[in-house]
Amino acid sequence: MSISSKSSVLLIYTGGTIGMKEDPGNQALRPFDFNSLMEEVPELHKFALRIDSYTFDPLIDSSDIEPGMWQKLARIILENYDAYDGFVVLHGTDTMAYSASALSFMLENLGKPVIFTGSQLPVGRPRTDGKENLISAVEIASSREADGSPTVPEVCIYFNSLLLRGNRSTKVDATGFEAFRSPNLPPLAQAGIDIRYNRDLIRRPGDGPFSIRCGLDTRVSILKVHPGITRQVVEDILLGPMTRAVIIETYGCGNAPSRDWFLDIVKESSRRGKILLNVTQCLRGLVNMDLYATGRTLKNAGVVCGRDITTESALGKLFFLMGNSDDNETVKAQLEKDLRGEMSI
């Protein structure tokens, strides 16, 4: 692992708390410009690196992220792919796991690091976590193996000493510094005195050239089952004419209510050709629709098993697969495959 003087990183600044400061009028946090942000992190100049930047206009709170911005991110990375060793995306934490997941599918044969990071406290605040997050993310994005190949050619989230696979990550803490976890996959690296990479887990790119696939079909709904869920709500979501796919967030190993009306609606939805994906509400473990009778009924109704995929990743995977195929059976077959390390097979 080394950082040579030739290394270069493109910092893509989309917004988020890391670059916000208080509006003197009402104390609400608002984004400030990239140069002011960089002035707060002079440590970056200590790296023998070329660090260039691309700033989104307008900068956004990531609650406003839209798939169009994922397409824009993918295009920026494509246009700058040959010119940089790695990319750091500064992004709000609220939807970082969604963006990192979506990008992991949209970037094909990725051979360079794309590291998302941000912070819980703005970089200008004395106790900020933003500086360490940004500095380490830059170091990881520029890190290379002895043979010159990038150490982590994946879309990742770096946060509070942990490097996590993007499409395995989820925001687990609204206020604490340890905001992200990948509950079903150990970290790809841990930063202490050194950055220790878990090389056995890091994926290597396929043979083909790097490319992007920006087609996204967003006709997806999420149905979270809960005690007391009403027939009307289930009908509206599973039979809604505008949805092509529904992520059913189930209990435990993939279980849902066994009442007739619920199962009839699932069957009808499936009969109408909708893509139904079973994702567990639990943070850890995986869906197994053979374990309980309720799970089996879902399986028999054509519901696809999401195994240990996160909801964030399931959403990105569906947008991506549906954007690239009009055939729902093809999409279902692809959903069952591990495409980018997003689920354990």
DSSP assigned state of 269:
H
CB 277: neighbour CB atoms within 10 A? 26
The stretch near ligand ASP (CB under 6 A) out of 56-64, 184-192, 196-204, 308-316 is 56-64
Closer CB to ligand ASP, residue 7 or residue 93?
A: 93
Window 57-76: contact mask with ligand ASP (x via CB under 6 A): ----xxx-------------
| Residue 153 and residue 205 in contact, taking contact as beta carbons nearer than 8 Å | yes
Question: Encoding tokens for residue 100?
Answer: 């990192």
**How many Å apart are CA 302 and CA 246, to the nearest integer?**
12
- Taking CB under 6 A as the rule, does residue 130 contact ligand ASP? no
DSSP 128-153: -SHHHHHHHHHHHHH-B-TTS-BS--
**In the complex, minimum distance from the CB of residue 169 to ligand ASP, in angstroms, rounded to a whole number:** 14
Residue from 118, 166, 254, 257 binding ligand ASP (CB under 6 A): 118
- Residues 201-240, interacting with ligand ASP (CB under 6 A): none
Q: What is d(CA 174, CA 88) in angstroms, rounded to the nearest whole number? A: 22
Q: How far is the CB of 86 from ligand ASP (least distance, A)?
A: 22
Rounded CA gap, 320 and 325, in Å?
9
Q: Choose one: 13-21, 37-45, 154-162, 213-221; the region binding ligand ASP (CB under 6 A).
A: 13-21
Q: How far is the CB of 293 from ligand ASP (least distance, A)?
A: 41
Report the site for ligand ASP in 240-299 (rule: CB under 6 A).
Answer: none
Catalytic residues: 17
CA 17, 18, 21, 27 dihedral sign is: positive
Contacting ligand ASP within 16-35 (CB under 6 A) = 16-17
- Please compute Rg for the chain using Cα positions: 21
Q: Least distance (Å) from ligand ASP to the CB of residue 96?
A: 7
Strand partners, 88: 11, 115
- Pick the piece of the chain touching ligand ASP (CB under 6 A) from 88-96, 140-148, 291-299, 310-318: 88-96
Catalogue the long-range contacts made by 46-49 (C-beta closer than 8 Å, 24 or more residues apart): 47/3, 47/138, 47/139, 47/142, 48/3, 48/4, 48/5, 48/7, 49/3, 49/5, 49/7, 49/8, 49/9, 49/138, 49/142
CB of 63 to ligand ASP, least distance (A): 5
CA distance 143 to 32: 29
Q: Which is nearer to ligand ASP, 5 or 63 (CB)?
A: 63
Residue of 7, 55, 71, 93 that binds ligand ASP (CB under 6 A)? 93
Contact residue for ligand ASP among 40, 85, 94, 217 (CB under 6 A) = 94
Please identify the residue of the shown chain whose CB is closest to the bound ligand ASP.
92
Q: How far is the CB of 159 from ligand ASP (least distance, A)?
A: 10
Q: Which residue, 29 or 78, has its beta carbon nearer to ligand ASP?
A: 29
50 sits in which H/E element: strand 50-60
Interacting residues of 238 by C-beta distance below 8 A, sequence separation 6+:
223, 246, 265, 266, 268, 269, 274, 276
Judged by beta carbon, residue 137 or residue 275, the one nearer ligand ASP is 137
Comparing CA positions, the residue from 64, 74, 67, 61 lying closest to residue 31 is 61
- Least distance from ligand ASP to the Cβ atom of residue 29, Å: 8
- Using CB under 6 A, list all residues that contact ligand ASP: 15-17, 61-63, 92-94, 118, 120
